[in-house]
Amino acid sequence: MPGRNFLFIPGPTNVPRRIQNAINIEQEDMRAMDLPEFTKPLYEDLKKVFKTRSGRVFIFPASGTGGWESAVANTLNPGDKVLMSGFGHFSNLWIDLCQRWGLNVQALEVEWGEGVPVEKYAEILAADKKHEIKAVFATQNETATGVASDVAGVRKALDAARHPALLFVDGVSSVASIDFRMDEWGVDLCVSGSQKGFMLPTGLGIVCASQKALDMRKNSKLPKTFFDWEDQIKANDLGYFPYTPPMNLLRGLREALNMLFEEGLENVFARHNRMATAVRKAVAAWGMRPIAKEPKWYSDTVTAVATPEGFDGNEVVRHAYKYYNIAFSISLAKIAGKAFRIGHLGDMNELMILTPINAAEMAMKDLGYPLELGSGVAAAQEYLRTTKINRLEK
């Protein structure tokens, strides 16, 4: 098909030209004597994105799943009891990973369209007088349902119960797009990936660990080689890596951080909220709603659009891809066919966000959904036209 294809899924996201140029360089010596001049500032600047002073960042040549394995394998032991909740395909995958590691998983099943059940967590933690629970897990942003969760609320529940459990956060589709505060929220481990808010290709699993989490590695008995923090620490302290790093992606990461800081993180978060709100305005104009059941659950990185009974959301995705050269995301598992997903994170602006709204309207109209062409586009245009961009201080 002539022209460009359009990508509006919740990751991988569009890679800006600046980052493409930074990646497209000759191969280099990963043991060059001047490499630490590049790597050490890179780690320090990543800490700014996680909003931590005392935490430590690890970069693995992996996806977010590799980051999950690293976080679990370096801090927990077989049979450890952990508290988790499943409310979408990806939070359930995290549960599956912990079960495969032999952890004793207390998994709360939550209705899809809601997020981490903070109140239930608080009850369970308060009742755990012997502190048998060693870690509490929270998915900040569930891309399968377009649901965001209250990580600060989980920390308050832990503090109210005076519970020493580690706090794990899946920030794969939230870090660098939605506000995340490692130190302020008392997060011990956060996992992210390069292909979402960092605007890079897939290939980097980025983990941030608190000092408390780092101390736990001395007693962890789970097997690890590739994801062993000890090897990373010994090499990273010198500015190097324990094995061959993907230097092209690291050069791209440097440029991605430059772009985030130039815009200002708070402006990045405000922009994501604005793009997400425009999509939600369009969805309402279509006479439809998000899968997220209440505004408090709305994600600013992806909207899962609930489709009416008898109208296959996944067919919208297939039709749009075939006829309009645009990629949306299908709905999965419990809501398969009951929704389609529009990603709106990373490198995104006003005119870009109108594209998936326009394409979705045409695809749905083709498939017989009774909407007025242009209704969602007009609603989004009016919102974007009448809302001012207030640049916050960086």
Domain CATH for 349: 3.90.1150.10
Residues 212 and 303 reside in one and the same domain: no
Residues 301 and 174 reside in one and the same domain: no
Alpha carbon distance, N-terminus to C-terminus of the chain: 42
**What percent of the chain is predicted at pLDDT more than 90?**
97
Residues 88 and 204 reside in one and the same domain: yes
Nearest to 41 by CA among 251, 340, 214: 251
Contact yes or no for 65/227 (Cβ under 8 A): no
Residues 250 and 338 reside in one and the same domain: no
Residues 182 and 231 reside in one and the same domain: yes
Section 73-90 average pLDDT:
97
Query: Does 180 reside within a domain?
Result: yes
Residues 347 and 208 reside in one and the same domain: no
Query: Does 163 reside within a domain?
Result: yes
d(CA 313, CA 337): 5
Residue type, 36: P
Residues 133 and 85 reside in one and the same domain: yes
Neighbouring-strand partners of residue 209: 56, 189
Residues 256 and 269 reside in one and the same domain: no
Contact yes or no for 64/193 (Cβ under 8 A): yes
What pLDDT, on the 0 to 100 scale, is given for residue 393? 53
With cut-offs at 50, 70 and 90, classify the pLDDT of residue 391. Answer: low
Query: Does 309 reside within a domain?
Result: yes
Residues 123 and 213 reside in one and the same domain: yes
d(CA 132, CA 128): 7
d(CA 325, CA 207): 35
Q: Which domain holds residue 336?
A: 6-12+265-386
Domain boundary among 232, 261, 290: 261
Residues 361 and 256 reside in one and the same domain: no
With cut-offs at 50, 70 and 90, classify the pLDDT of residue 135. Answer: very high
Q: Where is 343: in which H helix or E strand?
A: strand 339-343
Query: Does 392 reside within a domain?
Result: no
Give 342-354 pLDDT, tens digit per residue.
999 999 999 999 9
In whole angstroms, how far apart are CA 203 and each of 59, 166, 235, 361? 10, 27, 20, 33
Query: Does 240 reside within a domain?
Result: yes
Count of structural domains, the chain: 2
Nearest to 58 by CA among 226, 262, 261, 195: 226
Chain position carrying tokens 């965001």: 148
CATH number, domain at 173? Answer: 3.40.640.10
Give 215-241 pLDDT, tens digit per residue.
999 999 999 999 999 999 999 999 999
With cut-offs at 50, 70 and 90, classify the pLDDT of residue 394. Answer: very low
Section 60-71 average pLDDT:
96
Question: How many other C-beta atoms can be found within 10 angstroms of the C-beta atom of residue 231?
Answer: 15
Query: Does 393 reside within a domain?
Result: no
Give 193-215 pLDDT, tens digit per residue.
999 999 999 999 999 999 999 99
Residues 247 and 117 reside in one and the same domain: yes
Give 91-111 as a DSSP string.
HHHHHHHHHHTT-EEEEEE--
Domain boundary among 230, 261, 292: 261
Query: Does 356 reside within a domain?
Result: yes
d(CA 267, CA 272): 9
Domain boundary among 261, 291, 308: 261
Section 43-71 average pLDDT:
97
Q: Using DSSP, state whether 137 is helix, strand or coil.
A: strand
Residues 199 and 348 reside in one and the same domain: no
Contact yes or no for 335/318 (Cβ under 8 A): no
Query: Does 391 reside within a domain?
Result: no
What pLDDT, on the 0 to 100 scale, is given for residue 4? 86
Chain position carrying tokens 């292909």: 195
Q: Report whether pLDDT(280) > 70.
A: yes
